[in-house]
Structure 1
């Protein structure tokens, strides 16, 4: 069961890569529609050889470019999912995914038999064309699922056979070159299975689509509810793909998202309800958290909450907000899921049909405004949702005394702030090395991936992960789907952070777990440089019994004794040194050192006693 869940988790991550091209496709498709140009310059369109008329004439070219991406979604999924499953995202897996995809579709199409009633009354000269149209239309309904299956197969084949060694006379076909060959064989098996069953599969998809669409508001409510509840595990990507790329059919375009951009006036039901929540509700929740923060800490957390609110409003990326209260108040998160379901049903009841290429933010709302139905109704619904979220969150935070940002104990707040500052001041690989250290060292990391907002990691030991250090580096929350998988919610920069972590994996400070940092230096009592500030000197070489001290990673000082009552924490804080609650042994104290120069000074002092 755990292995199956891990595989589904990996599929959810892999699906995000091909979906990432949809904003570009949606933008090109929208810019290719003539109405936006006719709206802003109606008097110049078609009036002579002016620039507007020339631009108007090129719009079909732009629209065709965007339409091409939507018509080839199956190939994009075959490539993207293969890369997502393969170790290191190697291109050989992408090639294998395309090979399996083409073999599957072409082989299955060759096995199809055209029913006699399709050709009834068709002239002999057109019979071949009609038969080909029938086959193409039938296969078009399964392009996306076939792409996903072939991509996943190719990725797994790469992981299994990328290093295969063949006999010398076949050595040229060994290693990575063997993977596309194996994928072709797998595609042949899929072609046989699909060719014999595709008509039944498509008929079943049609019946399921009709049942879902006929469910109306109830079906949309359930979808919205599950979409938010499953975000904890990342499995919401699975049901999103079913709704956006499979449910319903309009002139060959399958799925709510495809149908919307193909001009289906009934499409958009599985997207419209997200707009009130993402553009209005969750930003209002951020404002509620800001207002409920301690007065002296509002300035400190205001930037973070404002950034998360703006990200949600503009782009529809909401996970950083949701993970600030998901585990603090599960009942509040459940209410958020219910409100999302209600928004889906309400927008459908009001006949509001909105669409997006990426997510339900302002950018997509403006870009697709001309293709939407009753788009202005979003404003009153959104304002109502903003009020509901603000008052519900304000009441819940006060009544339940939730430790939302700005309401944590002072020491924890200082540590988080200082950790963020340290990461920012270090920048680049400094922060990335901090992530590696906090994750238990390079030896604890098996694989590193990312989706839109979270790091998706496979690790050896969960107990080596330092959540406090990760939060200090900007993590918003954590999900552990299994004993060896970890998801760290970062925000829209997750992919960049994952790349930097991979680059930092070979760094000396990242080589081992925090307790065994390569190149770390210890110091014993009495061996401290005289030019250190008094508070630091007292910390390192105070009374007997302090024990050894050493630097771990990029900004953390570890001392082998509990934090003593007579430490001058105010003086340390002025120097940018803050106490952190130990993650493990209570006899070990940890301090974050913000200033680079001071950190190097302490490290040099520690080296004297090594």
Structure 2
């Protein structure tokens, strides 16, 4: 299971790489035109126009992240990274998003507007979890049915053309299951939120922990509706930006307590974690390219998904620790008296705008809290990554292969090399699966004892790496794709 999650994490890298620049554009746009995001500010002028365009440009991808995941991750999860899998992922996503929309659900079962069930299905559209689930379904259907042979009278739909059809059928079945399961899970989380709301600062910490932990599933919206909006009579966000204060207009809790703790974590904690990832990376360029831009994105406007999706599936235990740090700092922030709110997310832009509202308090505390978050996130991440050899960005096996980029084959007879390597790993019958990355052929073998390392080198490869009992990686060098293409023909 962990191996598959790591594969999913790698597949998500491609769509995730497109997000940081969009977050930064939205942050700059928000600073120029806060009124676009619902905050106070001018609604005309050159600055407003530029800000409006930047926000819409960034939102084009941020708001449609689920589409990126459905297509990009499906391609990454397919055996041969074929675009057909991306099409299948899109088919699955569109199918589930349509079948689980409130309008369609309301036609087949009772669904009253304003109820928890209605809110649950209203959060399906654009849900990242549905996008990732669609990618998994699309890729699985592609891998399974890409070589399907149909009778002559249906031959047109054979092979890859059958994938989208099968994907659509599977997606209908999954949608039916979610039709009953999704509102139960969503409702349970709303009930949990009701209980947490009675626990003061400790409850705020538990909420922050669950908020981050549920990001991969999209179910954090269930808790957000409890604490940020007026689902059960709270509405921390809506009351804060309405200019209310504690003790007025039905605010019987410490206003801002369910938002304040996110600021030190998003603005400074992620930067500390990013520094730890860069320092411990084998391929520092790859790590810098992803996590540094993601950290800037989080600091400016509080868009954290580029950072979180960059490692949550690669090493989920570390993501749980990450979520726990949010909970801890939210409790500390609550008792420190720091209060701030966000209209968009907990970045520097919202911190500045929220500081003018009546409920703000001790805004200057962001400095000591931020420094503490930076140091703690940095130390915890660095210790965990090094101690447990976690596969954060820049530490995947492919990044270790950067040093192999200059390897040259004995000759360019790729057919002969592929034939020799295949014989050396035990022949066609011993190969359960094969893929390739930057410099290596990645075999899943049935019998690892049948792999002859001397024969592999004699075939022209640089060496063999055995990461597990059934895995065998043959180091080829940068021309690995050409050897792989010949190998696939033989298989």
> Shorter-chain-normalised TM-score: which range?
0.5 to 0.7
Give the alignment's TM-score, normalised by structure 1: 0.45
Choose from 24, 27, 35 the match for 2:24.
Answer: 27
Q: Residue 80 of structure 2: SS of its match in structure 1?
A: helix
Aligned residue pair count: 383
Q: Which residue of 1 aligns with 2:152?
A: 168
- Alignment equivalent of 1:112, drawn from 93, 106, 115: 106
C-alpha distance in structure 2 between counterparts of 1:354 and 1:432, whole Å: 54
- The 1:135/1:70 distance shift into structure 2, 3 A limit, reads farther
Match of 2:406 among 430, 452, 476: 430
Q: How far off is 1:189 after superposition?
A: 1.7
Distance 2:324 2:175 in 1: 42
Aligned counterparts of 1:375 and 1:479: Cα–Cα separation in 2: 53
Cα pair distance change 1:68/1:278, threshold 3 Å: closer
Distance 2:469 2:377 in 1: 35
Q: In the alignment, does 2:145 pair up with 1:157?
A: no
Pick the aligned partner of 1:72 from 56, 64, 87. Answer: 64
SS in 2 for 1:447: strand
Tell me, yes or no, if structure 1 residue 177 matches structure 2 residue 161: yes
Listed as ranges, the matches of 1:147-546 within 5 Å are 147-196=131-180, 198-210=182-194, 218=202, 240-241=216-217, 247-249=223-225, 266-267=258-259, 269=261, 272-273=264-265, 275-280=267-272, 315-316=294-295, 342-347=328-333, 349=335, 350-351=338-339, 370=352, 377-384=365-372, 429-430=405-406, 446-448=434-436, 459-460=444-445, 483-484=469-470, 503-506=479-482
TM-score, normalised by the number of residues in structure 2 = 0.54
Instruction: Answer whether contact 1:273 1:345 (CA < 8 A) is retained.
Output: no
Query: In structure 1, what is the Cα distance between the partners aligned to 2:144 and 2:118?
Result: 34
Distance 1:216 1:14 in 2: 40
2:76 match? 84
Q: Which has the higher contact order (CA 8 A, sep 6+)?
A: 2
Q: How do 1:538-577 and structure 2 match up within 5 A?
A: none
For the Cα contact (< 8 Å) 1:142–1:202, is it kept in 2?
no
For structure 2, the residue ranges without an aligned partner over 5 or more in a row are: 36-41, 232-236, 243-255, 296-305, 356-361, 388-398, 410-416, 426-430, 454-464
Gap runs ≥5 in structure 1: 39-44, 48-52, 119-129, 228-235, 254-258, 290-300, 327-333, 358-363, 397-401, 404-419, 467-477, 488-497, 512-610
Compared CA separation, residues 54 and 116, structure 1 to 2 (3 A):
same
Q: Is the 8 A contact 2:111 2:118 kept in 1?
A: no
SS, match of residue 112 in structure 1: helix
3-state secondary structure, aligned to 2:167: helix
Cα offset, 1:392, TM superposition: 11
The one-character-per-residue Cα deviations of 1:183-216 (angstroms, maximum 9, x if unpaired) are 1111222333344555444423433455567667
Give the greater-gyration-radius structure (CA).
1
Residue aligned with 2:406, SS: helix
- Secondary structure in structure 2 of the residue aligned to 1:446: strand
Whether contact under 8 Å (2:12, 2:76) holds in the other structure is yes
**Is the counterpart of residue 54 in structure 1 residue 18 in structure 2?**
no
Aligned-pair RMSD on alpha carbons? 6.3
Secondary structure at 2:435 match in 1:
strand
Question: Residue 286 and residue 101 in structure 1: after superposition, are their counterparts in 2 closer, same or farther (change >3 A)?
Answer: closer
Partner Cα separation in structure 2 for residue 285 and residue 12 of structure 1: 16
Equivalent of residue 139 in structure 1, options 121, 140, 156: 121
How far off its partner does 1:156 sit?
Answer: 0.4
Q: Any idea what SS the aligned residue of 2:434 has?
A: strand
Q: Quick one: distance in 1 between partners of 2:444 and 2:84? A: 25
TM-aligned CA deviation for residue 141 of structure 1: 1.6
Between the aligned partners of 2:330 and 2:408, the Cα distance in structure 1 is 39
